[in-house]
């Protein structure tokens, strides 16, 4: 893969550099144990989630202006307020429904959703959070105790997907954080694995294992053509498994999946010859996942066709697929901004900046999508009432 120069990235401070060296040592040991290389999915798993060492498993700041990247709930509580309105529409149709949020990050979205549902008199039975990072779980706990004190009794953390669930499941920017496989199309399908090099890590290419070959061939069969020679990209085997598990649990309700992503046709378009990996370090985005292990975020854009296929394959329906701007505008953003003109000018300016960031096509409005997956007798909520693009999947 073409790696962008990492020399443009800010230099880590002494503690972060030491942390990254420990994480790299841990990964090098796994590579040695595996006979010289590991799959990229395993590398990503360790770099993000190795206990006490991975980016999400350790104490780095991550979110917000002082961290590495900003997500929609960190941009503005308007995002959570609109999501809450959509939750209320679904919960009104479900007897005793709850909300389950996956990968709750700093806890910002949970706080905003609960505040809005409290104001609407539409609190769920329970607000559950399933978070794989022990560090983030602690931060979420601390935050909701202070900022969602009125609803704290309804919040609980889960260790696994429940067997049965009714209500709303939400995941914002979680799918992009699931480990992906890397492949290259040549005469055969080849797998890009990670090996240790003199000064870090490097990609090495081997014949792909049967599961990866089957996944790439299924993509090609759906596209109706073989990918071009030398075409490299990612496949998220984990995302499909996760969606199937979530759908299996859902009895009656909707899953809202927010993330940056595109349809399969765009994902594997001929001009996208090097895939969709994106790394974030102190607000610099680049495409070299092999540097700064443990202190930079590694993500891959989402193939929403694959996610929708996994959902329908597990027995669910697609409630809608819209971009983030459309979700917010159809979902109640205007109602949230009512009365804005009565606010002090500085606050109006602040809010209009947040709205722009959340909705403009060059910001988060177009690349971010929401896929709604429904199960049971739920009518799709209003956020999916205009400009639905399910037919593009």
Ligand X SMILES: C[S@@+](CC[C@H](N)C(=O)[O-])C[C@H]1O[C@@H](n2cnc3c(N)ncnc32)[C@H](O)[C@@H]1O
Q: Which two tokens stand for residue 156?
A: 């609980």
Instruction: Restricting to residues 372-391, name those near ligand X by CB under 6 A.
Output: none
Instruction: Please select the residue that binds ligand X; options are 56, 256, 260, 368, rule is CB under 6 A.
Output: 56
26, 40, 43, 63: which one binds ligand X (CB under 6 A): 63
Q: Binding to ligand X by residue 54, rule CB under 6 A? A: no
User: Toward ligand X, which CB reaches closer, 109 or 189?
Assistant: 109
User: Considering the rule CB under 6 A, would residue 179 count as an interface residue with ligand X?
Assistant: no
Q: Which of 77, 172, 233, 324 binds ligand X (CB under 6 A)?
A: 172
C-alpha–C-alpha distance, residues 229 and 234, integer Å: 15
Q: Please tell me whether residue 165 adopts helix, strand or coil conformation.
A: strand
Is 71 an interacting residue with respect to ligand X (CB under 6 A)? yes
Q: Report in angstroms the alpha-carbon separations of 12 from 8, 20, 278, 289.
A: 12, 9, 19, 16
Residues 106-165 that bind ligand X (CB under 6 A): 109, 130-133, 136
Q: Which is nearer to ligand X, 56 or 256 (CB)?
A: 56
Specify the residue, 94 or 243, whose C-beta has the smaller distance to ligand X.
Answer: 243
Q: Residue 248 contacts by C-beta under 8 Å, 6 or more apart in sequence?
A: 314, 315
Contact map string, positions 311 to 350, toward ligand X, x by CB under 6 A: ----------------------------------------
Given a contact cutoff of 8 angstroms between Cβ atoms, the answer to whether 89 and 384 are in contact is: no
Q: What is the DSSP letter of 107?
A: S
Listed in sequence order, the residues at least 6 apart from 370 whose beta carbon sits closer than 8 Å to its beta carbon are 256, 257, 258, 320, 321, 322, 323, 324, 327, 383
Residues 325 and 112: their CA atoms lie apart, in Å, by: 18
Does position 102 bind ligand X by CB under 6 A?
yes
The two three-digit tokens of residue 254, written as one number: 């909707």
Binding-site member from 27, 38, 177, 227 for ligand X (CB under 6 A): 177
Q: How far is the CB of 172 from ligand X (least distance, A)?
A: 4
Alpha carbons 147 and 110: distance in angstroms, whole number: 10
Distance in angstroms (rounded) separating the CA atoms of residues 182 and 35: 19
> What is the number of the residue whose Cβ is closest to ligand X?
103
Residues that bind ligand X (CB under 6 A): 56, 63, 71, 73-74, 102-105, 109, 130-133, 136, 172-174, 177-178
């Amino acid at each position: 893969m073409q790696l962008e120069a990492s020399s443009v990235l800010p230099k880590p401070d002494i503690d972060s550099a030491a942390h990254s060296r420990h994480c790299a040592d841990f990964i090098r040991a796994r590579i040695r144990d595996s006979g010289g290389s590991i799959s990229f999915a395993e590398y990503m798993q360790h770099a993000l989630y190795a206990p006490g060492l991975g980016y999400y498993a350790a104490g780095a700041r991550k979110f917000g202006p002082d961290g590495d990247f900003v997500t929609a709930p960190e941009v503005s509580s308007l995002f959570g307020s609109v999501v809450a309105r959509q939750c209320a529409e679904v919960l009104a149709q479900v007897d005793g429904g709850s909300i389950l949020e996956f990968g709750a990050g700093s806890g910002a979205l949970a706080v905003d959703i609960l505040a809005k549902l409290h104001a609407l008199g539409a609190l769920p039975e329970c607000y559950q959070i399933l978070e794989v990072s022990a560090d983030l779980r602690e931060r979420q706990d601390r935050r909701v105790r202070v900022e969602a004190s009125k609803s704290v009794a309804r919040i609980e953390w889960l260790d696994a997907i429940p067997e049965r669930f009714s209500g709303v499941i939400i995941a914002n920017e979680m799918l992009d954080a699931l480990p992906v496989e890397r492949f290259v199309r040549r005469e055969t399908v080849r797998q890009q694995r990670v090996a240790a090099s003199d000064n870090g890590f490097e990609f090495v290419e081997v014949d792909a294992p049967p599961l990866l070959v089957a996944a790439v061939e299924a993509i090609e069969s759906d596209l109706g053509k073989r990918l071009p020679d030398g075409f490299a990209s990612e496949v998220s085997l984990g995302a499909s498994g996760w969606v199937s598990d979530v759908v299996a649990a859902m009895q009656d309700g909707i899953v809202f999946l927010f993330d940056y992503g595109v349809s399969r046709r765009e994902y594997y378009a001929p001009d996208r010859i090097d895939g969709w990996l994106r790394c974030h370090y102190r607000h610099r985005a680049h495409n070299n996942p092999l540097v700064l292990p443990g202190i930079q975020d590694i993500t891959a854009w989402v193939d929403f066709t694959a996610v929708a296929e996994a959902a329908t394959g597990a027995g669910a329906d697609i409630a809608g697929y819209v971009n983030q701007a459309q979700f917010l505008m159809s979902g109640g953003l205007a109602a949230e901004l009512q009365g804005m003109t009565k606010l002090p000018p500085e606050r109006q300016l602040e809010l209009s900046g947040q709205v722009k960031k959340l909705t403009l096509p060059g910001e988060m409005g177009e690349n971010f999508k929401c896929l709604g997956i429904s199960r049971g007798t739920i009518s799709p909520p209003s956020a999916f009432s205009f400009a639905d693009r399910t037919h593009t999947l």
